[in-house]
Each structure stands twice: as structure tokens, then as C-alpha cells.
Chains A and B, each alone.
Chain A
Amino acid sequence: MSALPNALALKRADSIERLWLLGLVTPAMLLIVITMVLPVGWLFYLSLLSDTGAFTTEHYVRMWEQPSYFRTFRTTFEVSIMTTAICLVIGYPLAYFLSELPKRAANLCMIAVLLPLWTSLLVRTYAWLVLLQRKGLINNWAIELGLWTEPIALVHNMLGTLIGTVHVMLPFLILPLYSSMRAIDRNYLRAAANLGASPMKTFWSVFFPLAMPGMATGALIVFILCLGFYITPAVLGGGKVIMVSSRIANDIEIFFNWGAASALGVVLLVMTALLIWIFMKLLKISNPVDRAIAA
């Protein structure tokens, strides 16, 4: 093969381009290594150390043997699943409504949906505490209106926790769901109707599957954020709804037991990763659109 003119120079241009690309991702890669990979490795290392600094698996064994840990994990998953479910029930129709609005109106409404995110989480949580307490606004009004006669425990229990978490999490569900609904060409719905599908049938056979990727993304984000949620459950649960994050905080603040706290963190991390993996697996089987999105 005879050498083509400029072959070498062109090849070098190729590799320079690749170097540039590599250069562009380097800061992000470094950041991830420093803030993610190193700390997680450190966490894992800590979870295998006893008080005296000797190597031990006692933290993991204790988690397995003590039923209180099992309860904590169960509560964590209960809160996360229920929050996700309630967010879906409230968020799906809302996202649908927004996606049907003209673009301008939808953008305005979207700002309203996102507004809570601009307020401090702590402020929002304590605001709920004020509203929901025994002599709070809601109990007072309900009694005055005759809805119930005695103050109801709306807070420092599962109910209060869920009210708080749903309120915080809702935008995270609506945002991806809305954009995936917005992207659905309304001609698909017209086509379905034209082919004989009733509005109900059109929804389930065309709209729902096409909005699925957005729904799955939103639900996954909410679920994962809930698993590690600390402030809102801690404040509104009032010590009765103990999630993994509260327990980690207790281990460190009260018992100064870094090993136990780290072990909890590692287990939560592994379980979350496992869940995402299962979730992705399920998605891939379900249909080709999701496959395309997941890919």
C-alpha cells in the first residue's frame, strides 16, 4: 500500500482531538474519584474496624442479629415505597394535565411546581410541623368546621412523615414525567382513536407505555432519595419513624461508633445499587422504548 499524502498529519489530528475530549472530562472524573470513590472506599474500610482499631466483622454481624436493625430497614423501605406510590398517584394526573396545557401556561405552572425546591428543606419541614401539630392550624380548623372533635395526631408518626416526604419529593417525580409526556406526539393518540380505541384504551395502550420512561425515572429518583432521607422523617417522625439515616446519625452523634454507622451506610448503598440493577433489568425486558432510553 502506497502512503497517502498527509496520512500522518491527519492521524495526529485525530489523536489530538481525542486528547482534547479526554481533557474535557478529566475535571469531572477527578471530582468523582475524590468525592465518591475515595469516601466510599474509606467508609467500607471504617465499617470493618472495631473501637480499638482492630479488624472485625462485628458491625455486620450485629446488624444481622439484632431485630431493631431489621425494623429500621423495613421502615426505610416502607416510607420510600409509600412516598413513591403517593407521589405517583398525585403526580401522574398533574403531569398529564400540565402536558396538555399550552406551552406558556405549562411553564408557569411548572414554576409553581418547582417553587418549593427554592425554599430551604428545613424551613419547609418545620412549617409542616407547625401546621400539623396537636394545636396546629389544620387540627384547629378541622375542629371548628366539625370534621373531627378531638385533635388528631397528624405528626410524630408515619402519617406526618409521609406528608412531609411526599411534599418534598413530588417535584422530582413530576419533572421527568412531565417532559416525557410532553414529548409524546399527540398524533399517536389521534391515530389510536382513528383505529377504534376508546379514550381509556388509547391511554393504556399508547400514552401510558410511551410515558413509561419518564415515570420510571421519576419514581426511581424519588425512591432513592427517600432511602437516604434524613431531616424530614427525623423531624416529622418525631423519633417514632426511624429510618436508616437517623440511625446512622445516632450512631455517630450519641455513640461515636463510626464503625457501626459506616456499616449501615455500606448496607444501604449495596441495597440501593441492587434495587437499581433489578429495576433496570425489569425495564429492559418490558419494552423497546425503555431499552432505547436505558441504553
Chain B
Amino acid sequence: MKNASLPISIEKITKKYGSTYALNHVDLEIKSGEFLTLLGPSGSGKTTLLTVLAGFTRPDGGSVKFGDTEMVCVPPHQRDVGMVFQNYALFPHMTVAENVAYPLKIRGVKGLEAQERVERSLEMVRLGGYGKRGIDQLSGGQKQRVALARAMVFEPRIMLMDEPLSALDKQLREHMQIELRQLHEKLGMTTVYVTHDQREALTMSDRIAVINFGKIMQLDTPRAIYERPLNKFVAEFIGESTFVPVHIENGIARFSNFSFKILHKDSRHGAALLMLRPERLRVLGPQEHLNAEFNEFSGQLVHVVYQGDSSLLEVKLPNDIGVQVRMPSVELQNHPNLLPGALLRLAVSVQDTVVLSEEGGTS
């Protein structure tokens, strides 16, 4: 059963609390059937944007359209969107089945049809036969599923999720991420998902909107967000990163007496930040030489932190600039000279040499 889905069009949505912007002229086009994640730190405005979509928060101005219909003035109970709340918000005075049947009852669906749809919805989240249970008899993961079943039983064309997995433990969370994603593929409704967990966002989304200070810092696919961050905030918020101040001239970024070729032929000149992902850096062996696809530089090893699957090497470049190198722990044995103070030759592919403009702004 693939539901019809609707695109969402957000235009200049603004909400101020006192003198601070929770949402600052946000524009966002969400495609029909897309799984879009709003990712940001707490207080960034991501949840506010979601509650604006659900109708719980009245923005100061702007436009929200589902399809072609203007929704910004429509009260929440007439919006017909499914929502999964952070703490599930399952009605404690109703059984599982009564909870799931609630939206159907309101829409006048009764009797056998309602029963069938409730059961089908519960089976979809693999809780078939749980209908008669009370809410307090369920585990966290089960509550999560009931909330999901209740949100989709009335076949909304848009689904909103507010950190639905944050209360679950790590293993269950990772399991539910895949399950949610599969459900989305099966049902195909436009989904807006809020999280502060970057890994969750990378795992689940078609596109990610990184939000901070009520503004969208970058909107792109998970891969592009990770590999081509537009600014320092996105680069820092998603994944591990270290920054080296550089000076750009004719497509070459210079730092101390090292030079880095940049992939994009941009016309930028002057001061910029070089972003290096620790796991994209390689430690070269004494006899190892790489081709022109790589930028080479070197620094002094400060210490090695063993972290199980991988190890983190703290390296000091000239001018006291520190960079981190993440190396799979199995490779430690290939580098017998990893002692504090040793001089390490490092390499990063031109592909992974990302330059950001000096501060914040979307370049």
C-alpha cells in the first residue's frame, strides 16, 4: 500500500522569541516522497520548524504549503499529517488498539474496517496481536512502534518525526533506523525527520538540512554534506574534522611550506580553512610515494589513542597546528615507528582536500 504523498514548500518562515530568531526566514522545498532530515544542535530551531509544520507553533510570518494548499493558518487538527513524538505521547488511558484506532474513530471509520486497519497497521510495525495490551505494559521500542502505527494508520501523506529514537538504547536505535527507512520505502510518504544525531541523519535521509541559529546552513545529500561541507559549522557538526588555516593562490592552498592542490577550480584568494577528516588521512611508510592525486605534508606525532576498531593519532604540524589521523587498529603493526616525537609523513587525496571560507558563512 503506497500512499499518495505531497511535497512541502516552506517560504520565509520566521519565528522570534524575544529578540532571538528561532527561525530566520527559512526557505525549504521538500520533494514528494522524500525522507528529509532536519539536523542541528539543541536550540537550533529544528524542532520549532517541525512544530510549525504540525501547526503547534504559529510562526510570525511566512508560508507553508502542502502541495498547492497554504497551511500556515490551518489549525493542527485539520492538517492531516502524521506525527511521531519524542516521548511517543501514547494515551495512557487507552489500550494499544484504542490508541491506534483513535485517528480512525475521529474520521468516522468504524467497526470491522477500523479493526482491520488497526491490525494491519500494528502488523506493519511487527506488533500484531498486541492490541489488548496497556501502554505501560510495553517496552520503549514497542511504544515507539505503536506511536508509528498510530501515526500512519490514517494514511497521512506527510509524516513528521521528532527525535523518535532518542529514548532508545543504541542497539535498538540502530535497528529501528533501518526499520523506519524500510517502512518509508514501502509507504512512500513525505517524511520530515528531526534529530541531533548526525549518524542517524546520515543513515536514514535522502537529504539533510543542517540547521543552526534558525537558519539552514546546508541542504544536500548525506554524502555531499559529509564530503563537501559548505562551512565550518557543518564540517564540525558532522563527523570528525580538524582545520588548518591556509592561504589560497591560483588554486593552491598553502600552509607553512606545504601546498595542497584543491579539486574545485575556484577563484578564491586569500585566507581560508582547510578541513581534514581524520579517517581520510593516510600515514605514509618511509619508502612510500604517492602520485599527483594526493597532497603530502608532515608533522610530529604527539601520541596514539587506542580506541578498539581504530586508533587516533594526534599530530602536530608547524605553528602548533594539531591534526588528527584515524587509522584502523589493524594497521598499527605496519607502522613500528609510531612513537611520540616521530616525524610522520601524511597524505590526503585531492578529492578530500576541502577548503572552507574562513568563518561561518555559506561560501
List the one stretch of B99-107, B183-191, B299-307 in contact with chain A: B99-107
Instruction: Assess whether A196 is in contact with B89, with CB atoms less than 8 Å apart.
Output: no
| Closest CB in chain B relative to A200 CB, distance in Å | 10
Asked if A288 is an interface residue, CB under 8 A from chain B, the answer is yes
Which A residues are CB-close (under 8 A) to B239? none
Asked if A89 is an interface residue, CB under 8 A from chain B, the answer is no
Instruction: Assess whether B76 is in contact with A193, with CB atoms less than 8 Å apart.
Output: yes
Instruction: Assess whether A287 is in contact with B93, with CB atoms less than 8 Å apart.
Output: yes
Instruction: Assess whether B93 is in contact with A289, with CB atoms less than 8 Å apart.
Output: yes
Pick the most buried of A193, A198, A209: most chain B CB atoms within 10 A of its CB.
A193
Instruction: Assess whether A195 is in contact with B56, with CB atoms less than 8 Å apart.
Output: no
Asked if B85 is an interface residue, CB under 8 A from chain A, the answer is yes
A210 to B135, CA, bound (A): 14
A187 to B91, CA, bound (A): 10
Pick the most buried of A210, A287, A289: most chain B CB atoms within 10 A of its CB.
A289
| Closest CB in chain B relative to A61 CB, distance in Å | 48
Given A187-B89, A210-B93, the answer on whether A201 and B83 have CB atoms closer than 8 Å is no
| Closest CB in chain A relative to B286 CB, distance in Å | 61
Instruction: Assess whether A191 is in contact with B77, with CB atoms less than 8 Å apart.
Output: no
| Closest CB in chain B relative to A161 CB, distance in Å | 37
Instruction: Assess whether B103 is in contact with A187, with CB atoms less than 8 Å apart.
Output: no
Residue from B54, B92, B107, B134 in contact with A194 in the complex, judged by beta carbons closer than 8 Å: B54
Instruction: Assess whether A209 is in contact with B93, with CB atoms less than 8 Å apart.
Output: yes
Instruction: Assess whether A195 is in contact with B103, with CB atoms less than 8 Å apart.
Output: yes
Instruction: Assess whether B150 is in contact with A195, with CB atoms less than 8 Å apart.
Output: yes
Residue from B75, B83, B93, B154 in contact with A191 in the complex, judged by beta carbons closer than 8 Å: B83
A188 to B54, CA, bound (A): 14
Asked if B192 is an interface residue, CB under 8 A from chain A, the answer is no
Residue from B81, B91, B134, B151 in contact with A188 in the complex, judged by beta carbons closer than 8 Å: B91
A109 to B79, CA, bound (A): 36
Which A residues are CB-close (under 8 A) to B85? 187, 190-191
Q: For chain A, give the interface size range.
A: 20 to 34
| Closest CB in chain A relative to B102 CB, distance in Å | 6
| Closest CB in chain B relative to A136 CB, distance in Å | 47
Which B residues are CB-close (under 8 A) to A81? none
Interface 0/1 of B61-82, CB less than 8 Å to A: 0000000000000011111111
Instruction: Assess whether A190 is in contact with B87, with CB atoms less than 8 Å apart.
Output: no
A197 to B101, CA, bound (A): 12
Instruction: Assess whether B106 is in contact with A201, with CB atoms less than 8 Å apart.
Output: yes
Interface 0/1 of B333-359, CB less than 8 Å to A: 000000000000000000000000000
| Closest CB in chain A relative to B107 CB, distance in Å | 6
Please name the residue on chain B nearest to A202 by beta carbon.
B77
A185 to B89, CA, bound (A): 8
Which A residues are CB-close (under 8 A) to B77? 192-199, 202
9 contacts between A and B (CB under 8 A): A190-B56, A190-B89, A192-B91, A193-B77, A194-B76, A195-B77, A196-B106, A197-B77, A288-B134
Top 8 closest pairs, chain A to chain B, by CB: A191-B89, A195-B103, A187-B89, A193-B76, A196-B106, A193-B77, A194-B83, A289-B93
Known pairs A187-B85, A195-B103 / 8 extra A-B pairs, C-beta < 8 Å: A190-B54, A190-B56, A194-B83, A196-B103, A196-B106, A197-B106, A205-B102, A210-B93
Residue numbers of A with Cβ under 8 A of B are 185, 187-188, 190-199, 201-202, 205-206, 209-210, 287-289
Residue numbers of B with Cβ under 8 A of A are 54-56, 75-83, 85, 87, 89-93, 102-103, 106-107, 134, 150-151, 154
